[in-house]
Amino acid sequence: MNQLENQIAVVTGAGRGIGKAIALKFASEGADIACVSRTAENAETVAEEVRALGRQAWALALDVSDAAAVSIAIDSIVQTIGRVDILVNNAGVTRDNLIMRMSPEDWDTVLNTNLKGAFLFTKGFARSFLKQRSGRIINVASIIGLIGNAGQCNYAASKAALIGFTKSIARELAPRGVTVNAIAPGFIETDMTAAMKAEMRQELLRKIPLNSLGQPDDVANAALFLASVSARYITGQVLTVDGGMVM
Ligand SMILES: NC(=O)c1ccc[n+]([C@@H]2O[C@H](COP(=O)([O-])OP(=O)(O)OC[C@H]3O[C@@H](n4cnc5c(N)ncnc54)[C@H](O)[C@@H]3O)[C@@H](O)[C@H]2O)c1
């Protein structure tokens, strides 16, 4: 029996990397997927891969920080798909720089995408989750939100705030059986980490007890667990998927 048989999941940032891995993992476990991405082409490509697994998929191209666009997308999801069971707030960006050189624009872009985007989607689906007395929300944070990182004050602030947001919404929605959890990945091999220089990668590996970077599928497996019936009694938690970096 598939773990997510006939459930419907909305995954933001599903066009590539971790979001794509989550979309395909959920589909392989029986879920239909609304793939949200900034670029229509990526969203449609992943939706096609979901359909190839025998599930339904919808592609939506939008900027998750655009309140009007998110509202239109949520209305269309509710009208065309109907019920939604799982929301994965995964879309995220980095704009790294030391604080002395960080522009207000780079601060805003990161906070608006990583934090406001999750707020808009969560708010958009909260009413239906409360009404149906079920639902799973999974926010993809980062270990950088737990430990900080020089050159990433905007990113760290967005992910730390996303963790505080997760715990607050977990408390708000728990009385109706809706769970809200965060995953804090460490360093995962995606486009986001591809630009890392060789020396930096070596230095990083010394800090990872399991001695390798993670794969998108490692995060997707954690998301599957949190979305599954096995995690029924788990809410307000942060699950680190980082090879043991933070413990
Ligand atoms: N890769 C890592 O090492 C790592 C570590 C910790 C946390 N994370 C988090 O995991 C999530 C996914 O990261 P990834 O490594 O797959 O990155 P990625 O850059 O490969 O993919 C990010 C996805 O988010 C989408 N996206 C970005 N901004 C968007 C916006 N404004 N509106 C809609 N979609 C948008 C992109 O189009 C892309 O599909 C992010 O939240 C990231 O912060 C990644």
Q: What is the pLDDT of residues 193-229, one digit of tens each?
A: 898 889 989 999 999 999 999 999 999 999 999 999 9
* Phi/psi-derived region of residue 76, left when phi > 0, alpha when psi is between -120 and 50, beta in every other case: alpha
pLDDT digits (tens, 9 = 90+) for 175-197: 999 999 999 999 999 998 898 88
* Higher-confidence position of 231 and 82: 231
With 0.75 as the threshold, say if the pTM is over it: yes
Ligand 1 center from residue 192 Cα (angstroms)? 7
Nearest ligand 1 atom to alpha carbon 18:
16
Residues 88, 137: Cα–Cα separation, whole Å = 6
Of the candidates 26, 107, 155, 187, the residue annotated as catalytic is: 155
Q: Which of 235, 243, 117, 124 is nearest to 182 (CA)?
A: 235
- Domain ranges across the chain: 8-235
Domain 8-235 has CATH 3.40.30.10: no
Residue 244 in contact with residue 52, Cβ under 8 Å? no
d(CA 215, CA 207): 17
Question: Is 155 annotated as catalytic?
Answer: yes
Instruction: Give per-residue pLDDT as tens, 69-93.
Output: 999 999 999 999 999 999 999 999 9
Helix (H/G/I), strand (E/B), else coil: 142: coil
Cβ–ligand 1 contact at 162 (below 6 Å) = no
